[in-house]
Amino acid sequence: MATVAQIDALLPQTQCTRCGFPDCRSYAEAIARDETAIDRCPPGGEETLRALSHLLSRPADHLDPAVGTFTPGTVAFIDETLCIGCTKCIAACPVDAIVGGPKLMHTVIEALCTGCELCLPPCPVDCIRLGPAQGVTEGYEGWQFPRGGDERAERLRERYGRHQARDQKTPLEKRARLGAREARADELKAERQAEIAAALARVRAKRGETPR
């Protein structure tokens, strides 16, 4: 019986969710449990489908039309004249293929982009489009290089892992920073109240008033 790791190793690691699962690993887990079909990976194309069919001894002729079709070498491009630097596409990219900063122009690293389309919906100005690869990604089959495809998939898997770890860590960091700011605000408030009380005490002492 094939393991989840063996199945996941055959998937292109685009993390595009087009299979109906949140990422490639989740899809592999569902396949291993025999809860879903093996024909639901458009980025993998017929190559991945054949590999899964061979590994699992499950018949599969073509991709399920419900999940779309395989389009080789499609990547995202940002119209830099329209980009407003909102960073929403950066947060959406599962493999961190988009670089930029708040209120700064963004750009896509073509060698890392998998054409997952997840950056399109959050863009508020529709400055992202998909198009044929123009550089090193030309000639992909199943989003893998004709040679050394396993290395690319592994690199994407690692980048996705770091992306997920950062997303999970960020809310905790935000809560920690918020807690620290609130604690510091309380400290400053207490210090200010003590300063005011001391100032009033000095004024009263000069006037010969009895402290209340």
Contacts of 128 (CB under 8 A, 6+ apart): 76, 77, 78, 79, 89, 119, 120
At residue 142, the pLDDT reads: 45
**Confidence bin at 95 (pLDDT 50/70/90):** very high
Q: Report pLDDT digits (tens) over 59-76.
A: 988 999 999 888 777 889
62 in any annotated domain: yes
- Of 46, 47, 51, the C-alpha closest to 28 is 51
Determine the Cα–Cα distance for residues 64 and 120; give it in Å rounded to an integer.
23
Determine the Cα–Cα distance for residues 95 and 112; give it in Å rounded to an integer.
7
51 in any annotated domain: yes
Q: Report pLDDT digits (tens) over 39-66.
A: 999 988 888 999 999 999 999 889 999 9
At residue 166, the pLDDT reads: 82
Q: Report pLDDT digits (tens) over 133-186.
A: 776 555 554 454 444 457 778 888 999 999 988 877 665 555 656 666 677 777
Tokens of 139: 């000639």
Determine the Cα–Cα distance for residues 4 and 126; give it in Å rounded to an integer.
37
35 in any annotated domain: yes
Tokens 């009895």 sit on residue: 210
What's the domain range around 44? 4-67
* 179-to-1, 167, 168 alpha-carbon distances in Å: 49, 19, 18
**Confidence bin at 192 (pLDDT 50/70/90):** confident
Cβ burial of 44 (10 Å; 0-12, 13-18, 19+) is buried
* 112-to-5, 36, 62, 132, 134 alpha-carbon distances in Å: 22, 28, 27, 14, 13
Asked which of 13-17, 73-77, 79-83, 95-99 is least confident by mean pLDDT, the reply is 73-77
Q: What is the mean pLDDT of the chain?
A: 84
- pLDDT over 90 percentage in the chain: 50
121 in any annotated domain: no
Query: Using the 8-state DSSP alphabet, how is residue 65 labeled?
Result: G
41 in any annotated domain: yes
At residue 186, the pLDDT reads: 74
Q: Are 73 and 132 in contact (CB under 8 A)?
A: yes
At residue 145, the pLDDT reads: 43
Give the CATH number of the domain where residue 21 resides.
1.10.15.40
**Overall number of domains in the chain:** 1
At residue 141, the pLDDT reads: 46
At residue 173, the pLDDT reads: 58
14 in any annotated domain: yes
57 in any annotated domain: yes
Question: Within a 10 A sphere around the Cβ of 11, how many other Cβ atoms?
Answer: 26
31 in any annotated domain: yes
